[in-house]
Amino acid sequence: MSDGPRVADFGHGNPLADRTSGGSQRGLVVDSRRQRAPVSAAVFCPAVGGSGSMRRRLFILGLLGGMAAAGPVQADGSLALVRRRGALRIGFDASLGPPYVFWNPQTRYYDGFEWELAQEIAGKLQVEARPVNAPWALHGDRLLRREVDVVINNRERGALGDTFGETVPYYRSTQRLLTRSDLAASVRGLPDLTGKRVGLIPKSGGAALAETYNQNRGNALRLFANVDLNRLLTQLRNRQLDALLLDEPLAVWHSGRDRQLTVVGQPLLPVDLVGLTHKDDDSLRQAVSNAIVRLREEGKLEAILRRWKLW
């Protein structure tokens, strides 16, 4: 495609990028979660009367005795548990379809760029990747019940607040306009679709973008929402719709398989995709993050994204 990069640079063309400064600063996303430093300051108890030195010693001895009685601090064992099991349980919803994670009838197994990434991450942890297919809306419950170890499935950074642990980003997604090839010359952005029929998936990034655009432009776009993407694609081909506003991976995938369709305009509304873990599983979250960083440094992440036309 010739209308600009589909992913944000990671300093030198890599999709892992820091969005904390509005996209103007590029570089490695640094995990802001910091472990608490051990308390090393001396304990001081003011002297009372003439035996202050003895009172201080007794206070410190009592404090240390209380700490010993409480027992040692238990280290997070989430990574150790995964390694003992020999498998990293990857949560995803295959019904989201390609190119995220989907069932490939030819190979009779799961496929997609997120599944390839999950397998590489598991390899870095020296375990196998074990697929756990579950409805997208139930991923949080599966994590809380520890039925999966990590969710890698089109999850936006910060979307769930601090309810779950987040890995470093592995891909920067955007919203793209998908239209028919015969309209490509006349449609280069949302302003060109004023009065036109635009299809979108409810509660998606595209829906939020289009609704906000309409609020500021007096309902310039005629919006048609449908949870069935295949139905939207059929309506676009049959000229019942003029364009679709979709997540970039979806737009790129379908334009690459249908000559009637093409992606136009510039990327809109960039968001970073991250893996999710249980909020208490710090050692596992950090290990998955480290694996993603290593895959980037080794060029394997780029290779995966290139295979799926996302680089």
Q: Residue 191 is part of a domain; what is its CATH number?
A: 3.40.190.10
Residue 222 has pLDDT above 90, yes or no: yes
Same domain as 251, residue 197:
yes
Residue 47 lies in a domain: no
Same domain as 144, residue 93:
yes
pLDDT value of residue 76: 83
Tokens 């979108």, residue? Answer: 200
Among 258, 257, 253, 229, residue whose Cα is nearest residue 241: 229
pLDDT (tens digit, 9 = 90+) per residue, 99-123? Answer: 999 999 999 999 999 999 999 999 9
Residue 41 lies in a domain: no
**pLDDT band at residue 161, thresholds of 50, 70 and 90?**
confident
Same domain as 163, residue 180:
no
**Distance, CA of 131 to CA of 141 (rounded, Å):** 16
Q: How many domains does the chain have?
A: 2
Give the count of beta carbons closer than 10 Å to the beta carbon of residue 262: 20
Residue 262's DSSP bridge partners are 179
Q: Where do runs of H (alpha helix) occur along the chain?
A: 52-70, 78-85, 113-124, 139-144, 205-217, 229-237, 248-255, 282-297, 300-307
pTM (2 d.p.): 0.75
Residue 43 lies in a domain: no
AA letter at 209 = L
Q: Which domain holds residue 231?
A: 173-271
